[in-house]
A and B are shown apart, each in its own frame.
Chain A
Amino acid sequence: MRPQLEVQNVDAGYGAVQVLWDVSLEVGAGEAVALIGANGAGKSTLLRVISGLLRPERGRVAFQQRDVTGLPPERLVHLGIAHVPQGRRLFSDLSVRENLLLGAWARRERAAIAADLEHMLDLFPALADRLALPARQLSGGEQQMAAVARALMARPRLLLIDEPSLGLAPLAVRALMEVVVRLRREGVSILLVEQDVTVALGHADRGYVLETGRIVLADRAAVLLENPQVRRVYLGLTATS
């Protein structure tokens, strides 16, 4: 079976600054893939290319066997790619309910949208009694859940999540990762960008390591966790014998 998402030989950057160099990556249907790497390695930039917020200078992005390189984000949301940007970026003065409903912007079927809102409260019970509050009044963990729920309201086939654990308590991180696992079972493909390597690889099938804009390692998550280089650089551990 062909993968859900294929990124092939992508170069991308901002103005004269090139960030990504010849990056290739795949995410299969129902697969969770972790993208790890240091600050400034280009992880967020790669997500921006996939979700259409940034146009690559070279290379190709294909989603469900279809070339989507350079399509605007609103088309990609329609096709089934949802992006949870770094720093959550909720609409802080709008209520949680409004935030979630805005996630379903690209869809028109009202009944299904209402049902999905219920489904989100089932996935994230903490949001249920927060629906009427302005998003800025939520805790960090609740905001991250709201951001993920907002993205899911688009009914994506592929979910891009950027640094979900940033600034969250371990308990909140665990709750969030449980949802990621559950989504995968529901058949949603996931591309997870995460600085916390244990969290990322612990919940993914496969992983890629991005270093200064280039993919330097790609393997099954369990194998990467045992990789001496990964352990030294990203886990601060010396290679175990």
Chain B
Amino acid sequence: MTPALSVTARRAGGWRLALVLALAVAVGLPALTNTYYVRLATGILMFAALACGWNLIGGYAGYPDFGAAAFLGIGAYTTGVLMARAAVPFPLALLAGGAVLLRLRGHYFAIATLGFMLVLQQLAANLELTGGGSGMNLPVARSFTTFYYWMLGVCALAVAAGLSLPRLRVGYAIAAIRENQAAAEALGIAPLPYKIVAYSGSAFVFGLVGGVYAYWFTFIDPPTVFNVDFAIQAIVMTLFGGPATALGPVAGAIVLKSLDTVLTNVSIFLHNVFFGALVCLLVVFAPRGLADLRRARGGILAALRATLRENRI
């Protein structure tokens, strides 16, 4: 089969060089700047990874998963419990978190996922193992740069998943199910196994990020890690950059997280207004993300004008 399920995949040839360059810059970044920017970049990478992870289920498979943070929480607590209670080395604890998540695969889709996350939040708040509502402390790491590289690794993994998915047989099935599940079934594609693949892929990325996050912040409690905000930010960034594209979510994370940082420095109030307004604008003008506007005939301005006409604004 000639794989070309997304625009990104089709143009990937020319992008390969750019990707390698970007990766080289990312690897060298900590040597070039000070701690503040490394910390900022770590945050961006974290959200880029989350957005790419969410894109697997929300973008490629088309299932809006609002409870994705459940897996971030599970990853964070698995790492936390293993490191603080059992003194397991960090990489091993992180891996265990991922393994636990892959066993947790299932069909908790869409809104049900939000409930799932809240249940887990309550669970973490009431278990002795997790330190209950007062949270738990993890050992402090020696260097912050380590987390930058961990996040970079997780992010690269998530991007690689997004890049390879449209070239795989699984990716074909997932695209068909997204486009029209009834027709996919009529062709003999059983939807459930493929949805599970997309969902566990997404959950796995969230779990890994959660694990790194826990060690990075050295303190976790239920409301911080089982936080719907992680899912919402990942959703907004994915929609902004372009769902079902490999690099759209990364672009979304870079642009929005940078803007977010600048605006938070100006005024916390303004930053909330900005994100609210952005979500509204996205839904009206670019429901399929910036990538789609760019693809539109006659450029972005023509596309915007057409949308204005359609919506009678």
The residues of A with any CB-CB pair to B shorter than 8 Å are 51, 53, 72-78, 83, 85, 89-95, 97-98, 101-103, 105-106, 110, 113, 150-151, 154
Q: Do A89 and B182 touch across chains, with their CB atoms under 8 A apart?
A: yes
Nearest chain-B residue to A83 (Cβ)?
Answer: B186
Q: Do A105 and B179 touch across chains, with their CB atoms under 8 A apart?
A: no
**Within 8 Å CB of B175, what residues of A?**
91, 94, 98
A68 and B247 alpha carbons, distance in the complex (Å): 45
Q: Do B186 and A85 touch across chains, with their CB atoms under 8 A apart?
A: yes
The contact of A91 among B1, B2, B4, B179, by CB within 8 Å, is: B179
Q: For the complex, is B284 an interface residue (Cβ under 8 Å from A)?
A: no
**Within 8 Å CB of B187, what residues of A?**
77, 102-103, 105-106, 150-151, 154
**Within 8 Å CB of A150, what residues of B?**
187
Closest CB in chain A relative to B310 CB, distance in Å: 16
Listed A/B pairs (12) with beta-carbon separation below 8 Å: A53-B186, A74-B185, A74-B188, A83-B186, A91-B183, A94-B5, A101-B172, A102-B176, A105-B188, A110-B1, A113-B1, A150-B187
Given known contacts A95-B4, A98-B172, A102-B172, A85 and B188 CB-to-CB distance under 8 angstroms: no
Closest CB in chain B relative to A8 CB, distance in Å: 23
Interface centre among A90, A94, A103, A154 (most CB of B within 10 A): A94
Q: Do B186 and A73 touch across chains, with their CB atoms under 8 A apart?
A: yes
* Chain B interface bracket (under 10, 10 to 19, 20 to 34, 35 or more): 10 to 19
Interface centre among B4, B180, B190 (most CB of A within 10 A): B180
Q: For the complex, is B173 an interface residue (Cβ under 8 Å from A)?
A: yes
Q: For the complex, is B189 an interface residue (Cβ under 8 Å from A)?
A: yes
A53 and B172 alpha carbons, distance in the complex (Å): 21
**Within 8 Å CB of A78, what residues of B?**
188
A218 and B250 alpha carbons, distance in the complex (Å): 61
Nearest chain-B residue to A75 (Cβ)?
Answer: B188
**Within 8 Å CB of B188, what residues of A?**
73-78, 105-106, 154
**Within 8 Å CB of B172, what residues of A?**
98, 101-102, 105
Q: Do A91 and B186 touch across chains, with their CB atoms under 8 A apart?
A: no
A113 and B172 alpha carbons, distance in the complex (Å): 16
**Within 8 Å CB of B1, what residues of A?**
101, 110, 113
The contact of B189 among A74, A83, A89, A97, by CB within 8 Å, is: A74
Between A and B, how many residue pairs show CB distances below 8 Å? 70
**Within 8 Å CB of A91, what residues of B?**
175-176, 179-180, 183-184
Nearest chain-B residue to A77 (Cβ)?
Answer: B188
Closest CB in chain A relative to B298 CB, distance in Å: 16
Closest CB in chain A relative to B43 CB, distance in Å: 33
Additional A-B contact list (15), CB under 8 Å, known A94-B179, A102-B172, A154-B188: A53-B186, A73-B186, A74-B190, A77-B188, A89-B180, A89-B183, A89-B186, A91-B175, A94-B176, A95-B4, A102-B176, A102-B187, A102-B189, A105-B187, A110-B1
Closest CB in chain B relative to A68 CB, distance in Å: 13
Closest CB in chain A relative to B74 CB, distance in Å: 32
A92 and B175 alpha carbons, distance in the complex (Å): 11
**Within 8 Å CB of A106, what residues of B?**
187-188
**Within 8 Å CB of A110, what residues of B?**
1
Write the B36-64 contact mask toward A (1 if CB under 8 angstroms, else 0). Answer: 00000000000000000000000000000
**Within 8 Å CB of A85, what residues of B?**
182-183, 186
**Within 8 Å CB of B184, what residues of A?**
91, 102
Q: Do B190 and A72 touch across chains, with their CB atoms under 8 A apart?
A: yes
Q: Do B173 and A105 touch across chains, with their CB atoms under 8 A apart?
A: yes
A73 and B184 alpha carbons, distance in the complex (Å): 10
**Within 8 Å CB of B173, what residues of A?**
105
Write the B176-214 contact mask toward A (1 if CB under 8 angstroms, else 0). Answer: 100110111111111000000000000000000000000
**Within 8 Å CB of A74, what residues of B?**
185, 188-190
Nearest chain-A residue to B183 (Cβ)?
Answer: A89
Nearest chain-B residue to A91 (Cβ)?
Answer: B179
**Within 8 Å CB of B4, what residues of A?**
95, 98
Closest CB in chain A relative to B124 CB, distance in Å: 39
Closest CB in chain A relative to B180 CB, distance in Å: 5
Q: Do B190 and A51 touch across chains, with their CB atoms under 8 A apart?
A: no
Write the B149-188 contact mask toward A (1 if CB under 8 angstroms, else 0). Answer: 0000000000000000000000011011001101111111
A110 and B3 alpha carbons, distance in the complex (Å): 13
Closest CB in chain A relative to B128 CB, distance in Å: 45
**Within 8 Å CB of A103, what residues of B?**
187
A73 and B175 alpha carbons, distance in the complex (Å): 18
**Within 8 Å CB of B189, what residues of A?**
74, 102, 105
Within 1-42 of B, Cβ neighbours of A (below 8 Å) are at 1-2, 4-5
Write the B65-92 contact mask toward A (1 if CB under 8 angstroms, else 0). Answer: 0000000000000000000000000000
Nearest chain-B residue to A85 (Cβ)?
Answer: B186
**Within 8 Å CB of A75, what residues of B?**
188
Q: Do B179 and A92 touch across chains, with their CB atoms under 8 A apart?
A: yes
Q: Do A73 and B185 touch across chains, with their CB atoms under 8 A apart?
A: yes
By Cβ-Cβ distance, the 9 closest A-B pairs, closest first, are A77-B188, A91-B179, A89-B183, A74-B188, A106-B188, A83-B186, A74-B190, A101-B1, A89-B180
